[in-house]
Amino acid sequence: MANRPLSPHLQIWKWGPHMLVSILHRVSGDGMAIVGLGVLLWWLGALASGPAAYETFHTVMTTPIGYLVLVGLTWAFFTHLCSGLRHFVLDTGAGYELDANRMWSIASVTGAVVLTVAFWAAIFLL
């Protein structure tokens, strides 16, 4: 039998922000694809169906659960955007140093939250 290294198991890896960003990138992309597509199709259908259908859509989306869905979609968008920009920089060959990778991973998550809060603050305050 060849004397070659075994593939490391999940218990060996130390969890870090870069792993969180990678997982959030996948989850946010799937969430936008599934939930976002559903909300978009419902909105377009309500828009095309007339004032009564649109009023139903508007009423549901302005409930606390509706706002939670919309804020969640906004957060998913900004998370995916910030993570995608981070990966774009990594694709250029920069940012692979451990400290830089950790800093940009934390900045990616923090930036998504800040952009989401700023977006909804602008909607409610303007």
Domain ranges (residues) in the chain: 18-125
Would you give per-residue pLDDT tens digits along the chain (126 residues)? 567 666 666 667 778 899 999 999 999 999 999 999 999 999 999 999 999 999 999 999 999 999 999 999 999 999 999 999 999 999 999 999 999 999 999 999 999 999 999 999 999 999
pLDDT at residue 15, rounded to an integer: 83
Between the two ends of the chain, the Cα-to-Cα distance in Å is 69
80 is in an annotated binding site: yes
Give the sign of the dihedral formed by CA 10, CA 13, CA 14, CA 18: negative
Decide if domain 18-125 falls under CATH 1.10.287.3610: no
- Calculated CA dihedral for residues 77, 81, 83, 84, nearest 10 degrees: 130
pLDDT at 13: 72
pLDDT at 73: 98
